[in-house]
Amino acid sequence: MPHAPRHPCLHPGCPALLERGESRCPMHKRQHQQAYERTRGTATERGYDADHRKWRAAVLARDPICKACGTERSTFADHIVPLKQGGAKLDLANGQGLCSHCHQVKRGRERHQEQAPPARWPPKRPGWA
């Protein structure tokens, strides 16, 4: 076995020198692991993470007025198909802006439906009531 010289961290521009067998310095190892976990989607526990905030901002930008009542300003980015019913968390197509009142109403419905099979949501006709 030839002598293996220390080599730099894989992170571009990082000056840390590592022993053989290591690929990243401890700091970049952690960063890399976190990025990896994000892409694997194991971050469900974290809930309102950076990706979710971006999704929420995009939904509210697209739906500035509540999609349910059509009059109030949207303040909630709602998942049309709830996550616990398998709705996509970060899909704009599964997002809609709701005002706080309509959000409450929908949340209440979802609680009733939790035992039931999914969902009369989304409704067939526009302007659900």
Candidate residues 43, 58, 65, 69; the one interacting with Zn ion per rule CB under 5 A: 69
Is 9 a binder of Zn ion (CB under 5 A)? yes
Closer to Zn ion by Cβ: residue 60 or 68: 68
Minimum Å distance from CB 7 to Zn ion? 11
Reference 92, options 77, 82, 73; nearest CA is 77
Candidate residues 14, 43, 58, 119; the one interacting with Zn ion per rule CB under 5 A: 14
> Count of CB atoms within 10 A of residue 32's CB?
14
Tell me the residue type at 78.
D
Reference 74, options 87, 62, 88; nearest CA is 62
Minimum Å distance from CB 38 to Zn ion? 19
Q: CA-CA distance, 129 to 125, in Å (whole number)? A: 10
Is 66 a binder of Zn ion (CB under 5 A)? yes
Closer to Zn ion by Cβ: residue 77 or 99: 99
Is 72 a binder of Zn ion (CB under 5 A)? yes
Radius of gyration of the chain (CA): 22
Strand 17-18, strand 76-79: pairing: unpaired
Close Cβ partners of 2 (under 8 Å, ≥ 6 residues apart)? none
Closer to Zn ion by Cβ: residue 65 or 90: 65
Minimum Å distance from CB 62 to Zn ion? 16
Binding site for Zn ion (CB under 5 A): 9, 11, 14, 16, 25, 28, 66, 68-69, 72, 99, 102
